[in-house]
Homo-oligomer: A and B are copies of this chain.
Amino acid sequence: MRRSIEFFLFDWLDIEALCTRPRFADHSRETFASMLQVCERVAAEKFAPANRRVDTQEPRMEGERVVLPDCAYETARAYVETGLLAATQDYAFGGMQLPTVVETAANVFFAKGGIGLGGGGLLTVGNANLLLAHGTERQRDVFARHELSGRWFGTMCLSEPQAGSGLSDIITRAVPDGADHQSDPLGPRFRLIGSKMWISNGDHEITENIVHLVLAKIPGEDGRLPAGTRGISLFVVPKKLVTPAGELTGERNDVALAGLNHKLGYRGIPNTLLNFGEGRYAVRGAAGAIGYLVGKPGEGLRCMFHMMNEARIAVGAGAAAIGMAGYEASLAYAKTRRQGRRPGPAGKDPATPPVRIIDHADVRRMLLAQKAYAEGGLALALYCARLADDKATGTAVESRDAASLLEILTPIAKSWPSEWCLEANSLAIQVLGGYGYTRDYPVEQYWRDNRLNMIHEGTHGIHGLDLLGRKVRIDGGAALDALCARVQDTAGRAARSGVLSNRGEELAAALQKVCEAARLAWATDVPEEALANATPYLQAFGHMVVAWLWLDVGLVAHHAASASPGGADIDLMRGKLQAMHYFFDYELPKTDAWLRVVASRNLTCAETREEWFGS
């Protein structure tokens, strides 16, 4: 996989150009590549061998403790030692000032080795980044700094048992803690009371402390919680209380582990139900979890989106990484397993030895589909990470453009790999046949692990609504316009390329259909009609986006292959071109069926009455 990642980074996304920016001036292709090499090695040596163990030795509760297998501790330590947690931070903050795109690529190796391992490093980084953006200087110094050093790990606490995707209905309550609550050096001090569900890494003993970022509502003067998402505030709530200097005070905060969720996969990360402020660990003379306000009251969700948008791209990258893991495992199997014979003009000749299954056309189809899905997902994640760098460090124009593109691409970056790299994992099982259905091979675990990705960080349905309900329409369609410009640019270059001109035309036609479908969906300006088929729209949009990126990649590969037909990378380039052709021939045509119901505002599903569902 490293060759593909380096090709994407250096040849396609030209990340060496970032080194001309002051922030990255000390860096070079060599420093980037060496980071990737280290991460590839640590992931292969420490993560991959432990991946089955965390699956079979699921987290369990022993009294009030979460028990994890040793390898969970060892991989977390190995991850911290790579320095990845602080890789993108300022030198002054102990960081390396690496671009986000390199950090994202480096993390792909770990996700491929074991998606649930490493102690949830990405959550910790996202948590710290939020505090760096929205916290006070003291909050940054006390909480973010110790997260980025790996001394403490972080969580995000949004969902509640009665409110999963519906955050406006959360009922965790935050009340001012004492008369002096405004003058705490760590920030305005509150007591939190409520339950938080689906909290990844919500409790463990990998680090000496855990930094929870918690959404809660501050009651009004009437004692009632404000309605809607505008009433949500954000708090930093440490598991163990800390001094303003960042040392443990020795007091346990009132945050109790109420249960573990027993999951289908992704088992290296304990998933918890946490009770804040139930009084089990009453502290400083009272029940209530002590937390410090981050940002302004009522702006909690806006702050949290900082973390969620990062996390969404990371989810997509992780899904693609698991797709790559299944692809490589099934490719290796297909190259050695012998079975059956190819059809010949005179039928099959049983006197010849059986062929390796990679020689069957349908096995090649399943491998090429996996390659197109997994590498396509990878390209998408890296493209978005590169945009994050442009947003943060590009010129004003580059930054604005990147911000627009990220708005509209984030739902795709999260949802597309989650859906199609899961399908890739199913194909990996299919390549292995009966063996793939057993625990003797890793592919069934990949498939189970990957199934989570369509659910967490916003379900498919949520992202469909976000895309068609908001992102294609914000700022008068500015984000969609920015995307169209880039897609058209690629299509235009393909049209002028000669050999790939058909693909350029197909892409331009798909783009046009996707835009037209959105227009027709909203033609009556009735949200319930426009959004009735938001998920099929998300699927079609995603396929168009990935076709665009494959063509963009294909143009680079074509150029490289033409320039150096005998070069060392020729097979890699041919493989990229072949995956691109697969995507255009087998996948892009699927968009018609999805867009059909969007453009016609089909209400078959929406109008099905509840009583008709009976069977």
Q: Give A contacts to B, CB under 8 Å.
A: 1, 3-4, 159, 162-166, 168-169, 197-198, 227-229, 261-265, 324, 327-328, 331, 335, 338-345, 348, 350-351, 354, 358, 360-365, 367-368, 371, 375, 426, 429-430, 433-434, 436-440, 444, 447-448, 451-452, 454-456, 459-461, 464-465, 469, 526-528, 531-536, 571-572, 574-575, 578, 581-582, 585-587, 589-590, 592-593, 596-597, 602, 604-606, 608-615
Contacts and interface: CB of A to CB of B under 8 A. Distances in A.
Given A526-B345, A589-B592, A615 B371 contact: yes
B527 A368 contact: no
B165 A340 contact: yes
A395 B294 CA distance: 80
Contacts of A605: 361-362, 364-365, 368, 582
B571 A611 contact: yes
B438 A262 contact: yes
A324 B162 CA distance: 27
A613 B328 CA distance: 9
B585 A604 contact: yes
A561 to B, nearest CB: 11
Given A162-B338, A168-B341, A368-B605, 12 more contacts: A197-B434, A262-B439, A343-B527, A345-B527, A364-B606, A365-B532, A365-B606, A434-B455, A436-B455, A586-B602, A589-B596, A590-B590
Contacts of A609: 571, 574
A497 B338 CA distance: 54
Instruction: Please give me the 6 A-B residue pairs with the lowest Cβ-Cβ distance, nearest first.
Output: A228-B350, A343-B527, A589-B593, A575-B612, A365-B605, A227-B350
A608 B364 contact: yes
Nearest to A583: B604
B434 A456 contact: yes
Contacts of A3: 614-615
Given A164-B433, A229-B350, A585-B597, A574 B342 contact: no
A175 B168 CA distance: 75
A614 B342 CA distance: 23
A364 B608 CA distance: 7
* Among A327, A452, A465, A613, residue most surrounded by chain B Cβ atoms (within 10 Å): A613
Contacts of A465: 343, 362
A344 B525 CA distance: 11
A380 B565 CA distance: 52
Contacts of A166: 339-341, 354
Contacts of A364: 605-606, 608
Contacts of A587: 593
Contacts of A351: 227-228
Contacts of A429: 451, 455
A129 to B, nearest CB: 24
A258 B440 CA distance: 15
Contacts of A611: 571
A461 B344 contact: no
A115 to B, nearest CB: 14
Contact of A440 (B262, B341, B534): B262
* Among A361, A367, A433, A609, residue most surrounded by chain B Cβ atoms (within 10 Å): A361
Contacts of A198: 434
Contacts of A165: 339-340, 433
A596 B262 CA distance: 43
B335 A610 contact: yes
A560 to B, nearest CB: 14
A10 B50 CA distance: 56
B227 A612 contact: no
Contact of A608 (B368, B456, B612): B368
A316 to B, nearest CB: 17
A434 B528 contact: no
A430 B460 contact: yes
Contact of A613 (B437, B439, B461, B575): B575
Nearest to A374: B615
Contacts of A358: 610, 613
Contacts of A571: 609, 611-612, 614
A352 to B, nearest CB: 9
Contacts of A438: 261-264
Contacts of A460: 430
A4 B615 contact: yes
A42 B459 CA distance: 37
Contacts of A444: 264, 451
Given A526-B345, A527-B343, A430 B456 contact: no
Contacts of A430: 454-455, 459-461
Given A344-B527, A433-B164, A1 B264 contact: no
Contact of A602 (B434, B447, B526, B585): B585
Contact of A461 (B159, B360, B375, B535): B360
Contact of A596 (B341, B363, B585): B585
Contacts of A604: 368, 578, 581-582, 585-586
A195 B561 CA distance: 49
Contacts of A262: 438-440
